[in-house]
Amino acid sequence: MPMSVRDLFDLTDRKALVVGAGSGLGRASAIGLADFGAAVIAADLDAAAADETAKIIAAAGNTASSMVLDVTDTAAANAAATEHPDTEILVVTPGYNVRRRLLDTTDLDFDRVIDINLKGSYRLMRAFGATMAARGKGSIITFASFRAQVIEPGQGLYAATKAGVVQLTKTMAAELGPAGVRVNAVLPGTFETPLTAQIKSDHDWWGAYEQKSILKRWAQPEEIAGAIVFLASDASSYVTGSTQLVDGGWTAADGRFEPTV
């Protein structure tokens, strides 16, 4: 009997490593995957935060553990892939932003943003891509941003790294597709997370973002989970090399003016 569409989303007995699971979109992703049956490893630089995510998942009757992982450490990324060679789902969420205009940034700013956002994603994709390819299956989900497509003054370094993540994602999808590994990028829009706390502290900035999206509001972290579950599961078995926007319609409309026609 053919599998039902509902069953395509079932992640039972699949191991998922969510990096950056200690808060925000990473935590929401981890909880969402666990709700659909995945055995989740919540990884984060902050051990206490990762452990808290694992406890939240376990309290709901699902399976989870936690680990410390620094995405700027190549050896740590390689060790994680070696320790968990049966990982079928990798979600890479960590992000770092320096909100300053390019003329005011420094080489240290550049190196830090690159090391976490772009090279951090690269380290994990390379390490787990190899083990997944060897097993002949797997789904890698990277986190880029709507800033990979549209920019704002003061976020040039962040935008550049997220555009780079998109291109790394497409390349790895092309290279690992024949081995049965799918690789896709999620491009979140305006989500209320620790990463956007600086914007929330500025009433005008926060309100302008709120009005720009078609839905006229900020998103909550749990609203990312549907896209993650879809890309992790067999429901997206023919989806790879894609960029999935979750931006409330921000990039669909220019938002300059609503004519009375």
155: domain CATH number is 3.40.50.720
Catalytic residue among 96, 158, 209, 238: 158
* Integer Rg of the chain from CA: 18
- Compute CA distances 193 → 95, 152, 223, 226, whole Å: 11, 19, 12, 17
pLDDT recorded at residue 85: 97
> Do 229 and 33 contact (CB within 8 A), yes or no?
yes
pLDDT recorded at residue 2: 63
**What does the alpha-carbon distance between residue 13 and residue 89 come to, in Å, rounded to a whole number?**
11
Furthest-apart CA pair in the chain: how many Å? Answer: 62
Angle, in degrees to the nearest 10, between helices 225-232 and 24-35: 50
Task: For tokens 């003054």, name the residue.
Answer: 153
67-105 burial, b if ≥16 CB within 10 A, otherwise e? bebbbeebebbbebbeebeebbbbbbbbbbbbeeeeeeb
pLDDT recorded at residue 252: 94
133-163 burial, b if ≥16 CB within 10 A, otherwise e? beeeebbbbbbbbbbbbeeeebbbbbbbbbb
Helix (H), strand (E) at residue 79: helix 74-83
Computed from CA positions of residues 99, 101, 104, 109, in that sequence, does the dihedral angle turn out positive or negative?
positive
Whether 256 is covered by a domain: the verdict is: no
Whether 23 is covered by a domain: the verdict is: yes
Within the chain, strands assigned E span 15-19, 39-44, 64-68, 87-92, 138-143, 181-188, 243-246
DSSP 219: B
Whether 18 is covered by a domain: the verdict is: yes
pLDDT recorded at residue 38: 98
Which strands sit side by side in the sheet containing 243-246, from one edge to the other?
64-68, 39-44, 15-19, 87-92, 138-143, 181-188, 243-246
- The parent domain of residue 165 ranges over 5-243
Q: 91, 119, 198: which is closest to 154 by C-alpha?
A: 198
- Please list the ranges in the chain whose pLDDT falls under 70: 1-2
Whether 147 is covered by a domain: the verdict is: yes
Tokens of 219: 């998103």
Please confirm, yes or no, whether 209 is among the known catalytic residues: no
Categorise residue 198: left if φ over 0, alpha if ψ from -120 to 50, beta otherwise.
Answer: alpha
> Do 31 and 61 contact (CB within 8 A), yes or no?
no
Categorise residue 171: left if φ over 0, alpha if ψ from -120 to 50, beta otherwise.
Answer: alpha
pLDDT recorded at residue 219: 93
**What does the alpha-carbon distance between residue 101 and residue 55 come to, in Å, rounded to a whole number?**
40
Average pLDDT in the chain: 95
Whether 253 is covered by a domain: the verdict is: no
Whether 222 is covered by a domain: the verdict is: yes
Whether 133 is covered by a domain: the verdict is: yes
Give one DSSP letter per residue of 168-197, joined into a string.
HHHHHHHHHGGGTEEEEEEEE-SB-SGGGH
Q: How many domains does the chain have?
A: 1
